Amino acid sequence: MTTVAVLGLGAMGLPMARHLSGSFAVRGFDPLPERAAMFDGGRTSAREAAEGADVVLVAVRTADQLRELLWGEAGIAGALTPGGVVLLTSTVGIQAVRDIAGRLDEAGLHLVDAPVSGGPTRAGDGSLLVTVGATDEGYAAAGAVLEAMAGTLVRVGDKPGDGQAMKTVNQLLCGVHIAAGAEALALADALGLDPAVALETLGAGAAQSFMLGDRGPRMLQAYDEDGAEVRSRLDIFVKDMGIVGDAARGAKLATPIAAAAEQLYLLGQAAGLEASDDSSVITVVAPSRRQKEAQA
């Protein structure tokens, strides 16, 4: 049976690990012991989880975390045998992935660049959108795991970095849609409409989007005392919209709408919302509602 190590048991890594364990021998690791304890195949170190694995699925937040995992104290690159696969599911930037892939290639290892989209629920049922950039050899070696993860699997290119490029385009739209949804529901409230009725109405017409339908209900909860359930942290979009901006500048392309959305997430971070759900960006657009409710 193929052995898969899942390194990073966060909001996406944990449900992916649980889903894959139905088809593969899966080991998991997370630097937070409480997260590692949530998975039956949890290990005490990243290297222990990766040792001898056929595919190492990595779910980290940044390129620096990926480099540290591969060649830092954990040093999992040294635990893999030639021909082994590092399956990257994170969004960390195009050039960073190309540089890391080159270094892995020198050691006889494949980097399969396969960022995912769809959220924790789809990670748990194997219906994610997975956009892949990989060599023929890497793609073949990771094929069974990719198929198990994905509801929609698209190989967008034959080299690492191509998957990141497609995910960057995806995140531009996602980040803009969340920001636009926040503005729309804040405007509905400011015009005296019931935001819940407005959300239901918008969801039945041409203004509907996945992000409005998914984040909209949590935007309505963002003003509650405990805020919305955290399913996707706001600082993820600070990172991702930064990647969008870097990519656009590198391509000499203006992206003014994405830039405006990025500023909204940066304002949220500055307001201390970095660990809050990204739907809380509505409170940056319309902080007055929270103030009014506090005074009521």
Question: Is residue 104 within 8 Å of residue 128, measured between CB atoms?
Answer: no
Nearest by Cα to 159 from 139, 136, 133: 133
Nearest by Cα to 148 from 277, 268, 266, 24: 24
Is 167 among the residues known to form the active site? yes
Is the Cα torsion angle 104, 28, 31, 262 positive or negative in sign?
positive
Rg (CA), the chain: 20
Dist CA 65 CA 141 (whole Å): 24
Dist CA 101 CA 113 (whole Å): 9
Is the Cα torsion angle 87, 98, 35, 119 positive or negative in sign?
negative
Dist CA 146 CA 126 (whole Å): 9
Catalytic residue among 159, 167, 239, 292: 167
Q: Encoding tokens for residue 45?
A: 């170190």
Going by C-beta distance under 8 Å and a sequence separation of 6 or more, which residues neighbour residue 81? 52
Dist CA 50 CA 76 (whole Å): 6
Q: How many C-beta neighbours within 10 Å does residue 183 have? A: 16
Q: Which residues are catalytic?
A: 167
